[in-house]
Structure 1
């Protein structure tokens, strides 16, 4: 099943914004459901191209930020492709979690056995 995925980089100004760089955020949209997180990079609002979702300029720092954003976009598309290959449910949150490395908590065998024994003790009395 094909799912349409949309990635958008945008600036998020704080409520008490004065002047200076603001954080660059990434929004993942899958079937009108959104998930967003910060990229860890900042940009001056006057240098931001909202249509392209990139920083404008020719300096080395600008090229570095744009390369990072392009790499981040590719990693998210790779995470989406991995979820499709595994047959997992594709949502904005699952793509975000796959990229961030957040997954279901693994339970060790000894903890499962201990939990089982505690429940059996409770049943016996």
Structure 2
């Protein structure tokens, strides 16, 4: 605890200072708080893990964690996994959202906290709030973009929670605000104009896929993954 005391005021058997001096009292108060803190750490590890050891308790008390899961490192793993899924389960735009969000988080950590990365366990409600304000003010992002980014972070932290990298999801009481936007749609006449439009071969193929989606209700990724084997004829 980085404290010194006169040996004459120390009771070796009881492990505390003797007498009623200010020095002895402050030492004993610190000892009491430290013991209480260690017992709390012990109980916390006992609730979360199968086994408790003095080494685990000491590491948590000293701020040393052999399993230090980091935010950006977890993002890098997710981004690598998303890259392998492009064209199979996701499209490029989905991958790009994770990729650019990772850049924004890195910039935010450096500007706000002067850190290259941050442990997952240190992410709390205020961290999320600060990042939201950073995107809004420093980056000038729209609320819809911010909501999309926060939703991705929430998914990442939910995954961390399920894997027991963290023991409380900081998004549990965080409400993601999203601005409502009116989506436009094509009229029958506009669709017909698009169908009859003269285009080059590349754009013509893109147009045909879009029209196919309009009449079938399929999403882009569904059409992208559509093969002859998946089509059944009656």
User: Normalising TM by the smaller chain, what interval?
Assistant: 0.5 to 0.7
- Tell me which of 65, 71, 90 is aligned to 2:33: 71
- For residue 113 of structure 1, report the CA deviation from its aligned partner: 5.9
Distance 1:42 1:86, change over 3 A: same
Please report the RMSD computed on the Cα atoms of aligned residues, expressed in angstroms. 2.0
- Tell me which of 54, 63, 84 is aligned to 1:101: 63
Q: 2:77 corresponds to which residue?
A: 112
- For residue 111 of structure 1, report the CA deviation from its aligned partner: 3.5
Distance 1:54 1:111, change over 3 A: same
Q: 1:56 corresponds to which residue?
A: 18
Consecutive unaligned residues of structure 2, counting only runs of 5 or more, are: 82-234
Q: 2:213 corresponds to which residue?
A: none
Encode CA deviations 1:55-85: one digit per residue, 9 max, x unaligned: 1121112101100001101100111011111
Larger Rg: 2
Return the alpha-carbon distance in structure 2 between the equivalents of residues 77 and 100 of structure 1. 14
TM-score relative to the length of structure 2: 0.30
- The answer to whether the 8 A contact 2:9-2:24 is kept is no
- For residue 115 of structure 1, report the CA deviation from its aligned partner: 7.9
TM-score relative to the length of structure 1: 0.54
Deviates more, 1:45-54 or 1:101-110: 101-110
Return the alpha-carbon distance in structure 1 between the equivalents of residues 12 and 64 of structure 2. 29
DSSP 3-state at the match of 2:13: coil
Distance 1:81 1:110, change over 3 A: closer
Q: Which has the higher contact order (CA 8 A, sep 6+)?
A: 1
- For residue 102 of structure 1, report the CA deviation from its aligned partner: 1.9
Matched, 1:90 2:55: no
What is the number of equivalent residue pairs in this alignment? Answer: 78
More strand per residue = 1
Return the alpha-carbon distance in structure 2 between the equivalents of residues 83 and 109 of structure 1. 23
Return the alpha-carbon distance in structure 2 between the equivalents of residues 71 and 65 of structure 1. 10
